[in-house]
Structure 1
C-alpha cells in the first residue's frame, strides 16, 4: 500500500507541474485541468506497470 501511495503522490506532482507548464494566462483553465489530469493518469499507469513488471507490486 505504501508503494502505491508513493506512485500516486509522484503522479500528482507530475500532473500539477504539467498543468502549470501548459497553462497560459489569457487562456481558460478548463483545458489545463484536463491536460494535467491526463498526464496524471498516464504517469500513474506507467509507474504501476513498471513496478508490476519488476514484481514489486
Structure 2
C-alpha cells in the first residue's frame, strides 16, 4: 500500500495513544493497596511496549507502516 508520510506518522501516533491507554489501564489494575507504586509503573511500561510492538507489527504485516519497497 502506498501511503504518504503524513498518514504513516498519523498511524504511528494513533498506535502510541492506544498503547498509552492500555499501559495506564494495566498499571492501574495491577496496583495493590500498600504496594510500591514503581511496580505498577514498571508493569504498565512493559504492557505499553508490548502493545506498541504488537500494533506496529500488525500495521507492518498489512503493509501500512514501515513497508520496504524495492
TM-score by length of 2: 0.80
Q: CA deviation at 1:38?
A: 0.1
| Alignment partners' CA distance in 1, 2:18 and 2:64 | 16
Structure 2, unmatched stretches of 5+, are: 1-8, 66-70
- The C-alpha deviation readout for 1:8-52, integer Å capped at 9, x for no partner, is 000000000000100012101011100000000000000000000
Residue 8 (structure 1) aligns with: 16
Give the helix-richer structure, 1 or 2: 1
| Alignment partners' CA distance in 1, 2:58 and 2:46 | 18
Number of paired residues?
Answer: 57
| Alignment partners' CA distance in 1, 2:19 and 2:59 | 14
Residue 42 (structure 1) aligns with: 50
After superposing on structure 2, the runs of 4+ consecutive aligned residues of structure 1 that deviate more than 3 Å are none
